[in-house]
């Protein structure tokens, strides 16, 4: 249900916007890596503007994802350590001798519990 909601509410409008952006920016633009000689054909890339826009978006998403992954590394390390500790406890409990399996002690069969007072 959540996947369908995300598809309809987020991805469909985003796709429409990206398609409109691509159609509106079909002109060829030159991207040069040499600021001192902009006419250098070896360091100039000529592509439609929407490709540069999509590449910038993709690179931004990748850099942001990597930054988040690096920043959350300490939390992943802590979770791994806790997982190892939990596994060690599970193994210790499974190796421990079990308690005798008998009736649980409680009030005698014929005795009733006292009635609560107000």
Output the pTM of the full model: 0.59
The pLDDT, as a whole number, for residue 92 is 86
Helices 12-24 and 49-71 cross at an angle (nearest 10°) of 140
Checking if the pLDDT of 111 tops 80, the result is no
CA-CA distance, 66 to 81, in Å (whole number)? 22
Q: Which residues pair with 48 in a beta bridge?
A: 28
Model pLDDT, residue 104: 59
Can you say whether residue 101 is alpha, beta or left, with left for phi > 0 and alpha for psi between -120 and 50 degrees? Answer: beta
Chain-wide mean pLDDT for the chain?
A: 85
Query: Looking at the DSSP assignment, which residues form a beta bridge with residue 115?
Result: none
Question: From CA 76, how far away is CA 66, in angstroms rounded?
Answer: 14
pLDDT tens by residue, 10-63: 888 988 998 898 888 889 998 888 888 877 888 888 999 999 989 999 999 999
Residue 114 sits at the vertex; the CA angle it makes with 112 and 118, to the nearest 5 degrees, is: 150
* Domain boundary assignment for the chain: 16-94
- The answer, yes or no, to whether residue 66 has pLDDT greater than 80, is yes
Stretch among 12-21, 87-96, 100-109 having the lowest mean pLDDT: 100-109
């Amino acid at each position: 249900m959540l996947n369908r909601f995300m598809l309809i509410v987020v991805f469909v409008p985003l796709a429409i916007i990206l398609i409109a952006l691509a159609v509106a920016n079909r002109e060829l633009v030159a991207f040069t890596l040499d600021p001192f000689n902009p006419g250098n054909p070896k360091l100039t890339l000529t592509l439609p503007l929407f490709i540069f826009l999509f590449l910038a978006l993709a690179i931004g998403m990748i850099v942001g994802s990597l930054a988040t992954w690096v920043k959350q590394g300490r939390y992943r390390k802590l979770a791994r350590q806790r997982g190892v500790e939990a596994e060690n406890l599970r193994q210790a409990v499974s190796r421990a001798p079990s308690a005798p399996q008998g009736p649980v002690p409680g009030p005698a069969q014929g005795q009733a519990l006292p009635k609560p007072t107000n």
